[in-house]
Amino acid sequence: MKVKFFAVFAVAALLTGCAGNKPADELVNTNQTAQQSYNEAKAVLDSGLYSRAIELLKGMESRYPFGPMARQVQLDLIFAYNQSGDIKQSLASIDRFIRLNPNHPDLDYVYYMRGVSNLQSDENSFQEFFGIDRADRDIASTKQAFDDFKILTSTYPNSKYAAAAKTQMIVIKEKLVRHELLIADYYSRRGAHLAAANRARFVLETYRDSPLVPQALALMVKSYDELGLTKLRDDAKAVLQLNFPNQQS
């Protein structure tokens, strides 16, 4: 019995290897219509076999580049790449789609997927799983994700993805604020008090509705005090005490 199972697995591996060496367009069954080929690829995609779905969709894209389903194939590829974890290729496919289809009716979905993909590119599942704060990491893609969601909500306010995008923007904003405050605290602990004050002031000016604003004000008070800038210190302290009387400066 073990020998039979080994033989089956060996044949399966051989077939998989052969399929992997074929050009993308050869993976499409030439006896099928374009619609039938797409239905097969879509069924594989819906089943969660993303790598195989990508092969079939790329085959369709190669064989029917200007067919009636070409745009839908491209949209499905964006999703398949994202779900397979190939975020780089997902973003490349998204940018290509936007460039070639500036007036497509599903651009709201594409911008949503770009926001999601940019967020994923900045995530570190190990640190998040164990609850380690990663606000100190480089967050360029997170900032881009915020811009992607902002484009979606401002350009397509009635999109079915707008509500989810707004929720994501709130979460991202707090990440950006924590990032700025961590940098400001880094400067403060190393005696770069002017740089710390400027970072804290940036938070106050840019994210004034954030619940972390009192922390920014408290840091401004401390930094200006260290610098001997008593007028600026007293102004920041007055704003802090007036708006957040329970916050310790």
130: confidence class by pLDDT, cuts 50, 70, 90: very low
Contacts of 66 (CB under 8 A, 6+ apart): none
d(CA 97, CA 79): 12
Which parts of the chain fold into alpha helices (H)? 2-21, 34-46, 50-63, 70-84, 87-100, 107-122, 125-129, 140-155, 162-189, 193-206, 213-227, 230-243
The secondary structure of 78-122 as a DSSP string is HHHHHHHT-HHHHHHHHHHHHHH-TT-TTHHHHHHHHHHHHHHHH
Mind listing the pLDDT tens digit for each residue in 99-113? 999 999 999 999 999
Domain spans of the chain? 1-85, 105-189, 191-249
Confidence (pTM): 0.76
pLDDT at 248: 59
If DSSP codes are grouped into helix, strand and coil, which group holds residue 245?
A: coil
Report, as an integer, the average pLDDT of 45-73. Answer: 93
Token couple for 3:
């020998």
Class of domain 105-189: mainly alpha
